[in-house]
Chains A and B, each alone.
Chain A
Amino acid sequence: MELNQLTIHELQNRLRAGEATALEIVQALFKRIETVESRLKAYISLMKEDAFEGAIRADEAIKKGDINPLTGIPIALKDIYCTKGVRTTCGSRILHNYIPPYNATVVEKLQQAGAIFTGKTNMDEFAMGSSTETSFFGATRNPWDPERIPGGSSGGSAVAVAADECIAALGSDTGGSIRQPAALCGVVGMKPTYGRVSRFGLIAFASSLDQIGPFTKDVEDCAIIMNCIAGYDPKESTSVPADVPDYRDFLSRDIKGWTIGVPKEYFIEGIDPEVEQAVRQAIKVVEGLGAKTRDVSLPRTKYCLAVYYIVAPAEASSNLARYDGIKYGYRTPDSLDLLDMYKKSRSDGFGAEVKRRIMLGTYALSSGYYDAYYKKASQVRALIKQDFDEVFRTCDIILTPTTPTPAFKLGEKTDDPLQMYLSDILTISANLAGIPGISVPCGFSGSGLPIGLQFLASHFEEGKLMQIASAYEKNANLEKRRPHL
């Protein structure tokens, strides 16, 4: 095993025991990046120099015994987090040259925990997409089959972890943008409760849905990262001042006597039979661990996609108004007047999917339509949340597939936005309800594509997710595979 193939906790042991240095880890990683990156395009920008300097500093710190939770651990950041002095594009032409003057709160937190940053990963433009094909910097490819998409919008982060181009990565999840690519790339991905992790410095797509979370190689690593990034931030008004437990404490606990809800609405028509089979198998595994499963209903599931595609574009249409060519980012070189400058800069600066959503959102908020669309969607959203509250009265966890199908082919759905939107159908509800969710690998399709299993829990119950995901991971006896590249 190469060092870049190991998990955080494995590397921590080696670093502490003096069996490896941070520099060796970073060297191994960049060697791997050189080998596979041209085929995968996981990164928009690499931070090679920073990473090597960081490794040297980490080794000095380790020598002195000054070891923090992530000292010497290389982590990739989705290019949606503001990094001081490091270009941050959000996958868009309009920010192709933008260098933030400040760090996102999560970036600060990871830095304080000793992490080394390897680079900024590719993503759908402004996180709008489910395939990482809408990036201005080109599509990212799935390491299990480079003809296929890695999922999105955080596809670059998922691929970087799956292809051992980093040890762990951060993504953001607005409608499934962590869990869906995690599932399609065969890694662990968590979307925490809305308000659990500070959004300060995360470039906004849909503010009431966006949440930050980790991609890791196993559940223990997920807990390690969550320990570092969760918690209240006085700079973020919607972050919640609730205590953060040590998530590692949940990893060794059993799930005997738990009730697992299996919502019938999530085993829909159109779900891939191999996906369904893998998930049914997972149900047997958790039952074997002493949990009861029961059929439950989330009756408003059928409205989720419609509500999402009103709320998210509406917020996005306003969040993206600041990209006007005046202060930073792309500005058209020739314009007649102010209005012309706005029009050209935004027409040229944004890609088709972003423009589609800005128009959808603008329409949904416009005078005369607000009540019928945005207001109604907000009301239905409250009902969707009630559905979950109802189920969590009797269930500890909800278990579903993460995606209806394994990874699809590049270009397969780019001309059909509705088909593309359907690939998030099983993940969107968690964002609307604000609850946490995790996707863990649960096997492979016949053609060797990873399949993901989703657990959902009630607000601020990330610990329970760690507990069941870890128990499942240890007992599922899944075949260990690595992508062939």
Chain B
Amino acid sequence: MKYEAVIGLEVHAQLLTDTKIFCNCSTKFGAAPNSHTCPICLGMPGVLPVLNKKVVEYAIKMGLATHCRINAQCSFARKNYFYPDLPKGYQISQYAEPLAEFGHVDIEINGEKKAIGITRIHMEEDAGKLLHDEHNPVSYVDLNRTGVPLIEIVSEPDMRSAEEAAAYLKRLHEILVYLEICDGNMEEGSFRCDANISLRPWGETAFGIRTELKNMNSFRNVQRALEYEIKRQQYILDDGGEVVQETRLWEDGQGVTHSMRSKEEAHDYRYFPDPDLVPIDIGRDWVDEVEKNLPELPLAKRERFMGEYQISAYDAGVLTVSRALADYFEEVAKRSGKPKIAANWVMGDILKFLNEEKKDIKDCPITPSALADLIGLIDKGTISGKMAKDVVEQMYQTGKAPTAIIEEKGMVQITDESTLSKIISEVIEANPEQVAQYRSGKEKVFGFFVGQIMKATQGKANPKIINDLLKKMLTKS
């Protein structure tokens, strides 16, 4: 039978605030265990939470960027369960009254646009981490991460393939990073994804029985896990079986999902409003203020680049992958006045250099203005495009300005016609055979002469002048 997959994603994103959501401890990753803790995030008896307003601001940003309604009032609830990494025995989250609802994110698959609904975005605190001793039956608790602010972004079950899910996830990631509210690091867990997936026969509208997938810590794994799970469920259904509602873990090494806990074992979280926190009123003024300071988002930027700089959809996509890269390109384009050429340089040489060293555009040794200068020098004919390839490499290695490199290496292009005429006549004289061939109509040998001239000038001859002069001189006598 033919099936349709129904997929919804729950994404947890750590927010880049300096301090935790309910206390003043640092949120920095990688500190010595339990060094970023205080009585509040340790869940000591008698402590009380005080909300970090920055968390609300960041969450509003994400809500606006995904076209959500920002609720005028939202509140916190307690999610109760026992685990050693949860010092209070409950997580402060949002339940009945989330911060934002009813949004959407647009994705594009093979040129087809599709809107994926956002059910809700809410704020919550992260839990700590358990470290298991490899040799002894002992576990340690590190509570540095406890209380680091998270937003949970819950999608509608709108995705119909693993590919769509991956596209949606990438889009969310891109938006969070653009907003500079999350570093998006999946390996360190600052961007995490769980998936709900079920199958139903084609044409059916009711949902099938779903499983929840966890432990997929890269975009690739999300796609692989979903693809695997689609096949697994399909196999069960084709066999006349029934999918078991359960939580399954993705095992990266084996490329399979394993059952983690059944529906019966699922927690009853006993949500109720947290009496230690008062409801948050989010006035229109606050939302307007945040909206005013919202940066241009990737999709808008892409469309603007295509219109304003006349570059292709593909190029615009590459150049807007991060806000820093887009800013870099845009500055080169503006300073040089040659956006298309700027795009080629940035996407070509610059990204190649950076990728080789796994560096970020922010660490690029070539400033946008230096690259714009280089483009200007080619345009003026000071150097050839070919020479520029060498110059840009030097610029990347030394960080020097293009003019300095050109001067140092004596790389200035020869444009003086009398100098070039002299060299051309020398070449013509030295190769009578080829001259005869050319004159008898074999125009292909023209390239041979250009090569010889370039060789004689170590590539510095201006190709356009050579072209004109050579033609004239070959036909002349």
Contact check: which of B42, B43, B50, B90 meets A235 at CB < 8 Å? Answer: B50
Are B39 and A102 touching (Cβ within 8 A)? yes
Are B80 and A318 touching (Cβ within 8 A)? yes
Are A338 and B46 touching (Cβ within 8 A)? no
| Residue of A with least CB distance to B96 | A375
CB contact list, A432-479 vs B, under 8 A: none
Q: Does A367 contact B (CB under 8 A)?
A: yes
Are A321 and B90 touching (Cβ within 8 A)? yes
Q: Contacts A238-B278, A327-B42, A342-B82 hold; do A322 and B88 have CB atoms under 8 A apart?
A: yes
Interface 9-mer from B269-277, B288-296, B321-329, B377-385? B269-277
Interface 9-mer from A6-14, A55-63, A160-168, A197-205? A197-205
| Residue of B with least CB distance to A98 | B45
Of all A-B residue pairs in the complex, the 7 with the closest CB atoms, nearest first, are A321-B89, A208-B275, A365-B270, A207-B275, A203-B45, A82-B46, A201-B46
Extra contacts, 11 of them, besides A237-B51, A324-B82, A324-B89 (Cβ < 8 A), are A82-B46, A88-B45, A98-B45, A100-B46, A199-B48, A200-B47, A203-B45, A236-B48, A315-B275, A318-B89, A318-B90
Interchain Cβ contacts under 8 Å between A and B, 29 examples = A82-B44, A82-B46, A88-B45, A95-B45, A100-B44, A102-B39, A200-B46, A203-B45, A203-B46, A204-B276, A206-B275, A207-B275, A235-B48, A236-B50, A237-B48, A237-B49, A315-B275, A317-B270, A321-B80, A322-B43, A322-B89, A326-B87, A326-B141, A327-B43, A327-B141, A365-B272, A367-B270, A370-B270, A374-B272
What chain A residues lie within 8 Å of B80 (beta carbons)?
317-318, 321, 365
Q: Does A101 contact B (CB under 8 A)?
A: yes
Q: Does A362 contact B (CB under 8 A)?
A: yes
Q: Does B133 contact A (CB under 8 A)?
A: no
CA distance A314 to B431 in the complex (A): 101
Q: Does B268 contact A (CB under 8 A)?
A: yes
Q: Contacts A237-B276, A237-B278, A367-B270 hold; do A100 and B49 have CB atoms under 8 A apart?
A: no
What chain A residues lie within 8 Å of B276 (beta carbons)?
204, 207, 237-238
Q: Does A234 contact B (CB under 8 A)?
A: yes
CB contact list, B101-134 vs A, under 8 A: none
Whole-angstrom distance between the Cβ of B42 and the nearest chain A Cβ:
7
Are A321 and B275 touching (Cβ within 8 A)? no
Q: Does B98 contact A (CB under 8 A)?
A: no
On B, residues with C-beta under 8 Å from A are 39, 42-51, 78, 80, 82, 84, 87-90, 141, 268, 270-272, 275-278
Q: Does A296 contact B (CB under 8 A)?
A: no
Q: How many A-B residue pairs have CB under 8 A?
A: 99
Whole-angstrom distance between the Cβ of A125 and the nearest chain B Cβ:
13
Whole-angstrom distance between the Cβ of B128 and the nearest chain A Cβ:
11
CA distance A400 to B50 in the complex (A): 37
Query: Scoring A residues 301 to 342 as 1 if CB is less than 8 Å from chain B, else 0, what string do you get?
Result: 000000000000011011011111011100000000010001
What chain A residues lie within 8 Å of B141 (beta carbons)?
326-327
Are B268 and A237 touching (Cβ within 8 A)? no
Q: Does A360 contact B (CB under 8 A)?
A: no
What chain B residues lie within 8 Å of A370 (beta carbons)?
270-272
Are A362 and B270 touching (Cβ within 8 A)? yes
CA distance A362 to B89 in the complex (A): 13
Whole-angstrom distance between the Cβ of A83 and the nearest chain B Cβ:
10
Whole-angstrom distance between the Cβ of A426 and the nearest chain B Cβ:
24
What chain B residues lie within 8 Å of A327 (beta carbons)?
42-43, 87, 141
What chain B residues lie within 8 Å of A328 (beta carbons)?
44
Q: Does A23 contact B (CB under 8 A)?
A: no
Whole-angstrom distance between the Cβ of A228 and the nearest chain B Cβ:
19
| Residue of B with least CB distance to A204 | B46
Are A318 and B43 touching (Cβ within 8 A)? no
| Residue picked from B82, B141, B271, B272, most chain A C-beta under 10 Å | B272
Query: Scoring A residues 228 to 261 as 1 if CB is less than 8 Å from chain B, else 0, what string do you get?
Result: 0000001111100000000000000000000000
What chain B residues lie within 8 Å of A317 (beta carbons)?
80, 270
Q: Does A67 contact B (CB under 8 A)?
A: no
Whole-angstrom distance between the Cβ of B80 and the nearest chain A Cβ:
5
Are B48 and A321 touching (Cβ within 8 A)? no
| Residue of A with least CB distance to B22 | A237
Q: Does A90 contact B (CB under 8 A)?
A: yes
Q: Contacts A207-B276, A338-B84, A366-B268 hold; do A234 and B45 have CB atoms under 8 A apart?
A: no
Whole-angstrom distance between the Cβ of A355 and the nearest chain B Cβ:
15
Whole-angstrom distance between the Cβ of A103 and the nearest chain B Cβ:
10
CA distance A242 to B268 in the complex (A): 39
Are A326 and B46 touching (Cβ within 8 A)? no
CA distance A169 to B93 in the complex (A): 37
Are B270 and A366 touching (Cβ within 8 A)? yes
Whole-angstrom distance between the Cβ of B289 and the nearest chain A Cβ:
23
Are A90 and B45 touching (Cβ within 8 A)? yes
Q: Does A278 contact B (CB under 8 A)?
A: no
Whole-angstrom distance between the Cβ of B271 and the nearest chain A Cβ:
8
Q: Does A289 contact B (CB under 8 A)?
A: no
What chain B residues lie within 8 Å of A314 (beta carbons)?
272
CA distance A236 to B49 in the complex (A): 7
CA distance A204 to B277 in the complex (A): 14
Whole-angstrom distance between the Cβ of B111 and the nearest chain A Cβ:
45
Whole-angstrom distance between the Cβ of B130 and the nearest chain A Cβ:
10
Q: Does A224 contact B (CB under 8 A)?
A: no
Whole-angstrom distance between the Cβ of B383 and the nearest chain A Cβ:
64
Q: Does A104 contact B (CB under 8 A)?
A: yes
Are A318 and B46 touching (Cβ within 8 A)? no
